[in-house]
Amino acid sequence: MSDRFGRRFTLLASAVAGLAGAILLALGNDFATFALAQILMGASMAFASGTDSAMLYESLVAAGRKAEVEQQELRAWRFSFTALALSAITGGAMATLASTAPFYAGAFAFGGVLLLALRFHEPPKSGAPLPEGAEVLRLHALKSALTQPVLIWLFALSVLMYGFSHLPFVFGQPFILAALNDGGHGANAPMVSGAVSAAMMVISVLTSCWALRLRNWLGLPAILMAAFTMQIALIGILALSNTIIVIAIMFLRMVPDSLSKPFIAARVQPELQDTSRATYLSLQSFCARLVFAATLYLASFGTAREGLMPYADIQRILGYYVLGGLAVLIALIIAARRLPIDARRPASSC
Residue range 142-161, pLDDT digits in tens: 777 788 899 999 999 999 99
Q: How confident is the model at residue 347 (pLDDT cuts 50, 70, 90)?
A: very low
Q: How confident is the model at residue 228 (pLDDT cuts 50, 70, 90)?
A: very high
The answer, yes or no, to whether residue 100 has pLDDT greater than 50, is yes
Q: Which pLDDT value is given to residue 136?
A: 54
- For residues 197, 55, 339 and 293, what is the CA-based torsion angle, rounded to 10 degrees? 40
- Percentage of residues in the chain having pLDDT higher than 70: 85
Q: What pLDDT, in 10s, does the model give residues 178-187?
A: 667 666 666 6
Q: How confident is the model at residue 344 (pLDDT cuts 50, 70, 90)?
A: low
The answer, yes or no, to whether residue 112 has pLDDT greater than 90, is yes
Q: Which residues contact 172 (CB under 8 A, 6 or more apart)?
A: 193, 196, 250, 253
CA–chain centroid gap for 201, Å, is 12
Cα distance between residue 4 and residue 7, in whole Å = 9
Length of the chain: 350
The answer, yes or no, to whether residue 72 has pLDDT greater than 70, is yes
The answer, yes or no, to whether residue 343 has pLDDT greater than 60, is yes
Cα distance between residue 31 and residue 340, in whole Å = 51
pTM value is: 0.78
Q: Regarding the domain delimited by 142-336, which CATH topology (the fold level of the hierarchy) does it fall under? A: Growth Hormone; Chain: A; (1.20.1250)
User: Roughly what angle, to the nearest 10 degrees, separates helices 101-118 and 7-27?
Assistant: 160
Q: Within 252-342, where are the H helices?
A: 255-258, 261-268, 277-299, 311-336
